[in-house]
Amino acid sequence: MTTRSVPVPDGLDGLRLDQAVSRLFGLSRSAAAALVEAGDALVDGVPRPKADKVSAGSWLEVTLPAPPSAVEVVPQAVPGLRVVYADDDIVVVDKPVGVAAHPSPGWTGPTVIGGLAAIGHRISTSGAAERQGVVHRLDVGTTGVMAVAKSEHAYTVLKRAFKEREVDKQYHALVQGHLDPLRGTVDAPIDRHPHHDYRWAVVSGGKPSVTHYDTLEAFPSASLVDVRLETGRTHQIRVHFSAMRHPCVGDLTYGADPTLAARLGLSRQWLHARALSFLHPRTGKKFGSSATTLMTWRTRCTHSVTPPDPPRSRADKTVEGELHRAHWRPASPVGQPVVAAAGTHDVAAGTGTPADAGVDRRRAALDHGRPAHRGVGGRPG
């Protein structure tokens, strides 16, 4: 057990006690609430209810539980885990669905680190014990290319490169409905969801988060989009598209339509890390690697004819001044993203001129009920 005392900063003045504890000590809302209810969080030496508001300058004294023991990395063969590239400094894999990047408390399934250990790859010892060599992560339900550091030098260089946004990250995502504009940039801050553990949301005061997207192909009920990240926040793609009312198909955590997901045979978000490029930590030369996109849903999606309604959740309140049907409101966002059409400086949501007329042709094809195609490497049209 560890006891820590900190003053309430001006930025948290008027916040609920459990929210303040969560923010100041990096705890989930449920963990913070449990500490307050157990009497392990005092305000100026006095226990308070979790809903009490804190004042700037007050002292919070919190008794924190002992941190959990480090999770051991156990070598375990991972079916479907494919090594795309390997040398003395890095190993790049094509991660299958259902595999975590590294061990963590509560996770008993396969991991990339365990899979690499099972086939004899020596991984960097830098980083937390269970995350050694991990310089970036993919969600369990996300497939595709992932790089791991093998040498200590590579770990240091790549961690800095990811932090300084010097890594190009390309994804393919299948999202509900049709984006307008078809090509654009989402600039919306992301932080932990204020009401749900293990979820993130667009919130004012969150960390700057920028996502660029371009529609590759449109289907009657969904769109295949190319996504490039400027930042790398947890669940960034999932949160940004959910905030635009176009969640990744199958992503029930962020409001996807379960009926459409079932129709396409998806039990997780369809999100694929298509390519990754950076300066090689040893040679300094441009290095790139990619993973094939497997679209098992394509035939079903082409014949899906009913566009899903926007994701909804039960509530009896107005949102942004509008009452959405009886007792329903859009499931997210907590805040509103800013969407700018590519090729413009207009940041009003849904406005601006597409970068070229090819986008207009794709929209015309979509309006006439035909799939609109675009080669990944070519121009729109």
If you average pLDDT over residues 284-293, what whole number do you get?
Answer: 90
Measuring CA to CA, which residue among 310, 342, 308 is closest to residue 329?
Answer: 310
Q: How confident is the model at residue 370 (pLDDT cuts 50, 70, 90)?
A: very low
In which residue ranges of the chain is CATH 3.10.290.10 found? 2-64
If you average pLDDT over residues 81-88, what whole number do you get?
Answer: 96
Q: What is the pLDDT of residue 327?
A: 26
Sequence-separated (6 or more) residues with CB below 8 Å from residue 85: 91, 92, 289
Domain 2-64 homologous superfamily, CATH = RNA-binding S4 domain (3.10.290.10)
Alpha helices (H) along the chain: 17-25, 29-37, 112-118, 152-163, 236-243, 258-263, 298-302, 357-367
Please name the CATH architecture into which domain 70-164 falls.
2-Layer Sandwich (3.30)
Lowest mean pLDDT, pick from 84-98, 199-213, 328-342: 328-342
Mean pLDDT, all residues of the chain: 80
Q: Which residue has the higher pLDDT, 314 or 135?
A: 135
CA 166 to chain centroid, in Å, comes to: 19
Please name the CATH architecture into which domain 172-217+230-381 falls.
2-Layer Sandwich (3.30)
Residue keyed to tokens 């080669």 = 375
Lowest mean pLDDT, pick from 51-65, 70-84, 138-152, 254-268: 70-84
d(CA 25, CA 27): 6
Which sequence positions are flagged as catalytic?
Answer: 139
Measuring CA to CA, which residue among 124, 19, 2, 144 is closest to residue 67?
Answer: 2
Q: What is the pLDDT of residue 195?
A: 83
DSSP annotation string for 233-285: -TTHHHHHHHHTT-PBTT-GGGT--HHHHHHTT-SS--EEEEEEEEE-TTT-S
130-159 per-position pLDDT tens digit: 678 999 999 999 999 999 999 999 999 999
What whole-number percentage of the chain has pLDDT above 90? 57
Q: How confident is the model at residue 71 (pLDDT cuts 50, 70, 90)?
A: low
In which residue ranges of the chain is CATH 3.30.2350.10 found? 70-164
Q: How confident is the model at residue 303 (pLDDT cuts 50, 70, 90)?
A: low
If you average pLDDT over residues 106-116, what whole number do you get?
Answer: 92
DSSP annotation string for 48-73: --TTSBP-TTPEEEEEEPPPPPPPPP
Q: What is the pLDDT of residue 295?
A: 73
Q: Which residue has the higher pLDDT, 118 or 69?
A: 118
Lowest mean pLDDT, pick from 19-28, 74-83, 162-171, 179-188: 19-28
Contact in structure between 379 and 358 (CB atoms under 8 Å): yes
